[in-house]
Amino acid sequence: MKAAWDWHLPRVTEAEQRALVAFAHATGFDTLIVHDPTPAMMDEAQQRGVNVCAIITPNVSDEFAHRRPECCQQILPAEEAIAAAMRSVDWEEYTVRARRWFPLVQPGALFCFEHPLAQAELKARVDQALAVADGVAFDGFGFRNHYACFCPHCQEARQGLMAGSPDRQAADIMASHAAESLVRVSQLLYDHAKTRKPTAIVTNHVWPPFRPDPYYAWRLKLDYCSQTISWFYKPHWSLTRVAFGASEMRQLEEPSINRFVPFIGMFHDPQLVRTPARLAAELAIARRYGGDHLIFCSLRVLQEYPDLRQVVEEALTGHDQAADGM
């Protein structure tokens, strides 16, 4: 899979929707991952032999969270206070100063992956997506605080586990239960998607990070598991870190569960754009550990910077021998 994950290029009109697909195809991508693909996009994609996956998130509106709080993740009061305080912070500026690549606490409400009604809602989102698209891509499937949910349902489950294993540390039980929750919901939605449409592509982007085990994603049941090797914001990760992360993810890969796909993120904002040489080196690392699999986000940077598009196109079409030798 050579996929473009995009939410920046304009797609208001049918002409813009078709142009988005055409641009992705011309650059060398065989898969496009977007929110709410339209019939025009699907028609253009079918003509060009491009698969389209619809993005599915566990995000819920504030109104839903207020109306059905039992279906949503809960975090500690102190963590809610952190989330409220961080809303006044410019995130990009903060990442540069603090050298963080994810928020201290995710600001919006998320489904609890253990609650039956939340699971039913997520299945319905899969159904809606596959009524149009060739596949689904899960994004945002993690915890608001990056480690666990504190809703009554999850707390009761952990108490039962602790009662059955009194010698285990509470923190270990919490981490294990949280990881199993992520694994279970991926299996649940994978199975549902394949039942709904056996040919469906089921992929994801591993985000937000899971603090107890940053490399847990090899356990997620998917066709393709997209894991970040280079992130959008500054400071740019060293190539040593990029290669180390990709190597770890590839070594953990279990093909019967999913195939590791390197994810390279870059936004079009001038202060965030990397050089063609730097991007070529990242793509070489992606090829080394991901083979022919890649997810790049997003397309707007490639449209606005032709030199970067050329680098990506050469890598996707197999003309990157020079980069491979770096």
Query: Residues near 179 by Cβ (< 8 Å), separated by ≥ 6?
Result: 210, 212, 213, 216, 219
Alpha-carbon gap, residue 18 to 182, rounded angstroms: 35
Instruction: Answer for the pair 246, 285: CB distance below 8 angstroms, yes or no.
Output: yes
Instruction: Answer for the pair 215, 226: CB distance below 8 angstroms, yes or no.
Output: no
**pLDDT higher than threshold 70 for residue 95:** yes
What is the residue type of 317? Answer: T
Kindly report whether the peptide bond that precedes residue 107 is cis, defined as omega within 30 degrees of 0. Answer: no
Tokens of 230: 């280079």
CATH topology for 2-324? TIM Barrel (3.20.20)
In this structure, of 83-87, 118-122, 272-276, the range with the lowest mean pLDDT score is: 83-87
Alpha-carbon gap, residue 8 to 304, rounded angstroms: 11
Entry pTM:
0.95
**pLDDT higher than threshold 50 for residue 72:** yes
Q: How confident is the model at residue 319 (pLDDT cuts 50, 70, 90)?
A: low
**Residue 91: its pLDDT value, please?**
86
Alpha-carbon gap, residue 312 to 302, rounded angstroms: 8
